[in-house]
Amino acid sequence: MPKQFLRRFLPDHHFIQNHQHLRFLGTLLHDPNLLHLNRRSVAGGFSVGLFVAFVPIPFQMVLAAFIAILIRVNLPLSVILVWLTNPLTMPPLFFFAYKVGAWILNRPPRKIQFEPTLHWLTEKLGAIWEPFLLGCFLLALGSALLGNILVRLTWRFVVVRNWKARQKKRVTETV
């Protein structure tokens, strides 16, 4: 069952509720859905994590945690999946987001060399921000929706497979 697989990698609720850096959240972390492993909570956690991964802001994990707490889905999965966009994957994913946005807006992609300077942010980013943000939003929405659907289908497939295996075992035991 997916529940046992996920449980091996996720922290238990006592660890999160008693973590020294999360104490300021108080009783918000006592909601059982934040750490519960059911189809709805896990699929929602995947959706939040994948959506926030494409939001081009710093401290994405904080935003993912806040949204997970707000809509009561699996908190650890939401925060972990934000790391889809890490320092190695962020440049190609955000470049792809820019290309998607430029294609949707029917604009030719510009040849811009990235420089991590304030001058580049004020001069060059102003020319590409619309297609970039549109592409980020579309990829965020698409990946969240696709992740939710895939988790729900996988969960359902595993549950049905286990039901059939138990039923087959019962039939062979009675014979």
Q: For helices 2-9 and 125-174, give the axis angle rounded to 10 degrees.
A: 130
Please tell me the predicted confidence (pLDDT) of residue 57. 86
Please tell me the predicted confidence (pLDDT) of residue 13. 60
Q: How many domains does the chain have?
A: 1
- What is the extent of the structural domain holding 154? 2-174
pTM (2 d.p.): 0.77
Please tell me the predicted confidence (pLDDT) of residue 29. 66
Higher pLDDT, 124 or 167: 167
pLDDT range class, residue 1, cuts 50, 70, 90: very low
> Per 3-state DSSP, what percentage of the chain is helix, strand, and coil (rounded to 5)?
75, 0, 25
SS3 of residue 10 by DSSP:
coil
